[in-house]
């Protein structure tokens, strides 16, 4: 069985932000305002418009080290299906400081790692996807939810780790992470039949998230 058949379209999860948009006063906003407005546009599924706002927030003359702006760019490009560009934006986000005053630095760092793990999985960078998913989980409580969309949770990170391990050929580790989502599931991963059942389980779990 082709390992890559388990690269699921995790990037297709809805990124609708649970906030409401409104009219904004036509003044030149501070950097956090650009970025927050970008998240509001994400809530309206206006992803390309959101990108414009996020880019304004990290533009050199504004504040290129504003981590949540790069974070927003990563999620917006992911929502458009541009996994490679998304990954690059998350990489940038991970190298700059969080200078925001209205968001938690730990929350943003977690979101960067989570988003990058999804992008890397889509790109077939299995070991990187696993590393980032585990890194995000290490920063956050077991009941983590994405601040901007409560439907994206720690369970997606579990599934990303499991799928990454499968693509990486580490079937025993894949099973460990699958069992975090369903502790009743068990197969013999040393056999082709067991690996086929494991792949089918990953598909089923993906459909249930």
| CATH number reported for the structural domain that contains residue 58 in this entry | 1.25.40.10
153: which strand partners? 145
Q: Name the burial class of residue 14, with classes exposed (0-12), middle (13-18) and buried (19+) by CB atoms within 10 angstroms of its CB.
A: exposed
Q: Per-residue confidence at 142, pLDDT binned at 50, 70, 90?
A: confident
Whether the pLDDT of residue 25 is over 60: the answer is: no
Question: Domain range holding 175?
Answer: 3-208
pTM beyond 0.85: the answer is no
Domain count, the chain: 1
Mean pLDDT of 114-124: 97
pLDDT averaged over every residue in the chain = 83
């Amino acid at each position: 069985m082709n390992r890559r058949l388990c690269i699921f379209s995790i990037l297709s999860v809805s990124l609708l932000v649970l906030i409401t948009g409104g009219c904004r006063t036509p003044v030149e906003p501070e950097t956090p305002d650009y970025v927050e407005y970008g998240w509001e546009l994400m809530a309206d599924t206006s992803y390309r418009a959101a990108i414009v706002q996020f880019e304004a927030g990290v533009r050199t003359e504004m504040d290129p080290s504003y981590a949540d702006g790069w974070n927003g760019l990563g999620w917006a490009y992911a929502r458009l299906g541009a996994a490679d560009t998304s990954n690059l934006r998350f990489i940038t986000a991970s190298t700059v400081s969080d200078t925001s005053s209205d968001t938690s630095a730990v929350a943003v760092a977690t979101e960067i790692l989570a988003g990058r793990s999804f992008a890397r999985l889509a790109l077939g960078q299995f070991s990187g996807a696993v590393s980032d998913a585990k890194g995000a989980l290490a920063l956050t409580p077991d009941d983590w939810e994405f601040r901007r969309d409560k439907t994206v949770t720690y369970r997606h990170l579990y599934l990303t780790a499991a799928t990454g391990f499968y693509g990486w050929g580490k079937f025993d580790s894949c099973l460990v992470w699958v069992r975090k989502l369903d502790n009743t599931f068990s197969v013999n991963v040393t056999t082709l039949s067991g690996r086929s059942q494991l792949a089918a389980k990953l598909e089923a779990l993906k459909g249930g998230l």
